[in-house]
Amino acid sequence: MYNDMNCQKTKVCLILTLCIFYSCNNTSPKKDLKEDPSTDLHQQKQTEYALVIHGGAGTILKENMTNELENEYKAKLDEALSIGENILKAGGTSLDAVVSVIMIMEDSPLFNAGKGAVFTNEGANAMDASIMRGNDLEAGAVGGISNIKNPITAAQAVLEKSEHVFMVGKGAEAFAASVGLETVDPKYFYTERRWNSLQKILEKEKSLGYNTTDLPDSKFGTVGVVALDKKGNIVAGTSTGGMTNKKYDRIGDSPVIGAGTYANNNTCGVSCTGHGEYFIRYAVAHDVSAMMEYKGISLEEASHLIINKKLKEAGGSGGLIALDKYGNISMPFNTPGMYRGFVTDKERYIGIYGN
């Protein structure tokens, strides 16, 4: 009897131990998964390399799109993915892949970056770009530049060839020229489509009697790329023409490290697109990384939480692309559509609209 009772006690005690152990583990389940990758597929390397791209989020609706234009977008996204994939497959760096892919998108008038950038209130093009390297957290960014053919190369030069991280305006242009980047006449960035958008918005302003950027997509349009190379290095980059009719040398989130762009080999790489002011105030790109690192949640959870909960509740529209060190990919957006795509050694995807 006494023995039985003791036995009983021992059992109760063991069960109690297991219960407490289990409940303790349960408060931070992801941490344990992280330490033991075998328990979750998403915590294992999925692919040798990965590349994810976006060409802007906004009111992109099937009914407003011609088949021809849709095919143009798809073909350009496909071309961009292939260029990046070839670099990564051949063992190239994620930095090379990101810069090369963004250049292709900047050179296309389809996207609001480089050739195709929207016009400011003064009828000029003022572009922003940034890039960040996840292995050493080095970064480069430029804001409000008008005569460098590929703004992303200016951001890369700030990262690689200067002691600074962020330069703007004439100074950034002088630096870019001093390191031999290709300069162009600012007229190079003229496209009829974007010029007409500005005229339309200026007319609306005249009738309203006040400054507005309140036309579909006048706030949006950015290109961004995140890549994971075979060595496990993550790089993220973003380039934009900003907001149609922008005034006062406004800077959006794209050149702001932590807002529009962030990369850290231990967590993820992120490039954002959307209503830039919200992305700055919520430090969106860094927030994804911070939630993964400190809360121990997955890339998917973290990126959806910020885009579909925090930003959505605050009224901030847009989206982001991101990948983690395992090659998991996330592309959430709270707008009707986002030009997007990704490629890994196993999969290839291109999308425009939401569900």
User: Rule CB under 8 A: which residues touch a copy of itself?
Assistant: 2-3, 6-7, 9-10, 13-14, 16-17, 20-21, 24-25, 27-28, 31, 132, 137-139, 143-144, 162-172, 174-175, 213, 247-252, 256-259, 262, 276-277, 280-283, 286-287, 290-291, 293-295, 314
> Degrees (nearest 5) of the Cα angle 103, 342, 37?
125
| CB-CB contact of 44 with 38 (8 Å) | yes
Written as one letter, the residue type at 161 is K
Single out the residue of 36, 23, 74 nearest to residue 53, CA to CA: 74
- DSSP letter string, 121-132: TTS---EEEEEE
Given a contact cutoff of 8 angstroms between Cβ atoms, the answer to whether 42 and 304 are in contact is no
Torsion of CA 103, 104, 108, 110, to 10 degrees: -100
Residue 26 CB coordination number (10 Å): 9
Nearer to a copy of itself, 203 or 249 (CB): 249
- The two three-digit tokens of residue 312, written as one number: 């959505």
How many angstroms separate the CA atoms of 157 and 104, rounded? Answer: 18
The residues that are catalytic are 222
| Least distance in angstroms from the C-beta of 85 to a copy of itself | 29
- State in angstroms the smallest separation of the CB of 258 from a copy of itself: 4
We find the least distance from the C-beta atom of residue 161 to a copy of itself, in angstroms, to be 11
**Closest CB to a copy of itself among 70 and 300?**
300
Q: Of 55 and 58, which CB lies nearer to a copy of itself in the complex structure?
A: 58
In sequence order, which residues have a C-beta less than 8 Å from that of residue 237 and are 6 or more positions away? Answer: 98, 99, 102, 129, 130, 131, 132, 152, 155, 224, 225, 226, 261, 271
Residue type, 352: I
Name the minimum Å distance from CB 305 to a copy of itself.
Answer: 11
Nearer to a copy of itself, 115 or 275 (CB): 275
Which one, 80 or 259, has the nearer CB to a copy of itself?
259
Question: In 3D, which of 101, 143, 131, 107 has the Cα closest to residue 340?
Answer: 101
Exposure b/e, 81-90, CB count within 10 A at least 16 = b: bebbbebbee
Nearest residue (CB) to a copy of itself, 77 versus 283: 283
The least distance separating a copy of itself from the CB of residue 66, rounded to whole angstroms, comes to 32
Least gap, CB of 250 to a copy of itself (angstroms): 5
Residue 236's SS3 state is strand
